[in-house]
Amino acid sequence: MTAKDIWDAKTYLQFEGERLRPALDLIARIPHEAPKLMVDLGCGAGDDVILAGTVTLADVYALFDT
């Protein structure tokens, strides 16, 4: 059995708050006031990426492979 066989977005999202806090902290530390591009490697269910796109006007690309 591989990770692709057992990964479940619903279960993953149960811990959204615990995962989201570090992402928010990192986004807040971006020194550029208006980044044009953001890349999220390992974006999981994508909820952090959606948030990043709403707090910046950047083009946001998300890559995830489990």
Q: Which two tokens stand for residue 13?
A: 């999202």
For tokens 């953001």, the residue is 38
Average pLDDT, the chain: 74
State the Cα–Cα distance between residues 2 and 50, nearest whole angstrom. Answer: 27
What average pLDDT score do residues 51-64 get? 72
Length of the chain measured in residues: 66
Give 5's pLDDT tier (boundaries 50, 70, 90): low
